[in-house]
Amino acid sequence: MIPPRHGAGAVLLALAAGCAGGPVPPLLEDPALAALRAEPPVPVRIAVAPPRVRPRPPPEHAGSLEWTEADAGAAIVEALRAAGFSRRVRPVAGSAPEGAAGDEALADAWTEGDDLLLEVEVTRFEAAYVGTNGWFLPNLLLWIELVWPAWFVPDEDYEVRVEGTARLRAVATGRTVWESPVSGSAADSFNDFERGFTLLGSLSVPSGLDAGNWLAIGKVLREAAVRSFQVDLATRLSRGLREAAATPAFAAATRQTLALLVGCGQYDHPGLHNLKYPVADARALREWLRAAGVLERQIRVLADDQATGARLRSEIRDFLAARARPGDRVLLSFAGYAGPDGRGGAALLPYDADPRRLAETSIPLGDLASALASVPDAEALLLLDAGLGGTEEVRWASCGLPPPDPARVAAEISSIASRPVTAVLWACRPGEGAAEVGERRHGLLTLNWLHAAARAPDRDGDGRVSVEEAFRVASRGVQMHAMLSGRVQTPRVYGAGGGFPVPRPSSRDASADGAGEGGRGP
């Protein structure tokens, strides 16, 4: 029997010690996140990849708790949205990113127009025994004297800890722009019943605790620990993103190159003789860009019957214009025929061009200028390996069409190049044809451009090769090859291109030897 003089004191002692746990306030009420929301948001869109949660550790780590990838992903998205430091946050569907799955997450983010991909790996989520607290010795005396009130005194301290790493990758390039460890924890004091009964009470912990005891502790503290992890992640990410976004490295990592490469050598109308190498030109340009680090999903190739007028216009509108952002780089190449537009100007001839109805079936340069006007202020380069007259003038005369007027052609190209940071490279001057090189199986301009892209010197020493520097090398090669084959072909460059840095492949045999053969006439 417990002596009456001790019973009341024991009960008061237990009540004064309190109980473990407590309600966690809503995430939006967290003062740290409220401070983040008060700052202007960073103008980026973030996709959250399904997090990797390390599998449950071996049995000796008995305090480990389960956290599903779905629950972890939802908690991460909730935290970033509550912090409000970015333009948009959305989860990526699927499984945790690892290897090819990580590439799939990047591809999904790029398809949805996101700027950054957040990848989180949770490496620890477990309950742990911290030790006894100041109630232990008084409670030990209470246990010796009274026994049962001692069970209600929280004299043991426990914590639940969440640890991991977070990484931001630029969707445009896949490069890491920020990485940091992330952690969260919650601790509290427990009595014998809250952490689960053991035969010898505090004298047998932590070795006497079984899985049920750890789960009981985790049930009380996990929500607060996850909340701590959410706040730490949002705070670190907001601070790290703001610091990174102000650096040149961030701009370089998030800048994407979009390329629309058109090779039209086969024509639907019998009046347009087929060419040999436009498709090879488009594919070689694709390999050049891939070797320079441009991602495959950022390159579109239209070959032969794919290169219809409607498809070309739609790709300019829905691919280049829809995806390009200020500061990005846009490349549009066309290898095939050019000719009169039926109104005195020049036009690119797609697969379904009809020499008798060029005004309706071609891509006049004026229309091309209008289409490109919808592309944001990205650095743009147009590489046009097509002729503007030469031997094909006879063909246009037989169709009742005069050749393009040189003055009007120059004005139309200058209109395109008048866009900020835009350059236009044309294979020849008005009145000249564009040759194909049989020994190298390319158009003459494309062949020499690939050589220049790989080997042109950086003459001004600014650390990159500009369009102008590469053009000087390519132009000399084109003129030399044309002269050796008894032709005259003089490439032209219009517009400054804003210092457009020419992508440099890691390695390429881009020597420009061989004689000219054949031509792209108009």
Please compute, for residue 424, the number of CA atoms within 13 A of its CA located in the half-sphere on the CB side. Answer: 24
* Coil, helix or strand at residue 121: strand
φ, ψ for residue 282 (rounded to 5)? -60, -40
Domains and CATH numbers, the chain: 4-246 (3.40.50.10610), 255-519 (3.40.50.1460)
What tokens appear for 404 in the block? 């393009």
The neighbouring-strand residues paired with 48 are: 91, 118
**Of 33-47, 95-109, 231-245, 346-360, the least confident:** 95-109
Q: Global pTM? A: 0.78
The neighbouring-strand residues paired with 364 are: 347
Q: DSSP string spanning 177-219?
A: EEEEEEEEEEEEEE-TTTS---TTGGGGTTTT--HHHHHHHHH
Q: How do residues 63-89 score in pLDDT, each as one tens digit?
A: 788 898 999 999 999 999 999 999 999
φ, ψ for residue 222 (rounded to 5)? -65, -40
List strand residue ranges (DSSP E) for 321-453, in order. Answer: 329-335, 337-340, 346-349, 363-364, 379-385, 422-426, 435-437, 442-443
Q: What is the pLDDT of residue 497?
A: 56
Share of the chain above pLDDT 90, in %: 37
In contact, 497 and 379? CB cutoff 8 Å: yes
Q: How do residues 176-234 score in pLDDT, each as one tens digit?
A: 999 999 999 998 888 766 666 665 555 556 666 777 777 888 888 899 999 999 999 99
Of 129, 450, 76, 409, residue with least CA distance to 291 = 450
Range with the largest mean pLDDT of 233-237, 244-248, 355-359, 487-491: 233-237
Residues contacting residue 25 through CB under 8 Å, at least 6 positions apart = none
What does pLDDT average to over the chain? 81
Q: How do residues 3-62 score in pLDDT, each as one tens digit?
A: 333 343 444 444 444 455 567 788 888 999 999 999 999 999 999 999 999 765 554 556
CA-based max dimension of the chain: 122
In contact, 114 and 45? CB cutoff 8 Å: yes
**157 vs 130: CA distance, rounded Å:** 5
**494 vs 384: CA distance, rounded Å:** 12
Query: Residues 32, 38, 40, 46: is their CA dihedral positive or negative?
Result: positive
Task: Give the CA distances from residue 175 to residues 102, 103, 116, 179, 464, in Å, rounded to whole numbers and listed in that order.
Answer: 12, 12, 10, 11, 20
* Coil, helix or strand at residue 118: strand
Q: Is the pLDDT of residue 1 over 70?
A: no
* Coil, helix or strand at residue 122: strand
Of 145, 50, 34, residue with least CA distance to 83 = 34
Q: Is the pLDDT of residue 325 over 80?
A: yes
Average pLDDT over residues 284-301: 92
Q: What is the pLDDT of residue 396?
A: 63
φ, ψ for residue 333 (rounded to 5)? -115, 145
What tokens appear for 444 in the block? 């003459």
Q: What is the pLDDT of residue 205?
A: 67
Q: Is the pLDDT of residue 478 over 50?
A: yes
Q: Which is more confidently placed, 158 or 4?
A: 158
- Where b means 16+ CB within 10 Å and e means fewer, 173-209 reads beeebbeeebbbbbebbbbbebbbebeebbeebbeeb
Q: What is the pLDDT of residue 16?
A: 44
Q: What is the DSSP letter of 470?
A: H
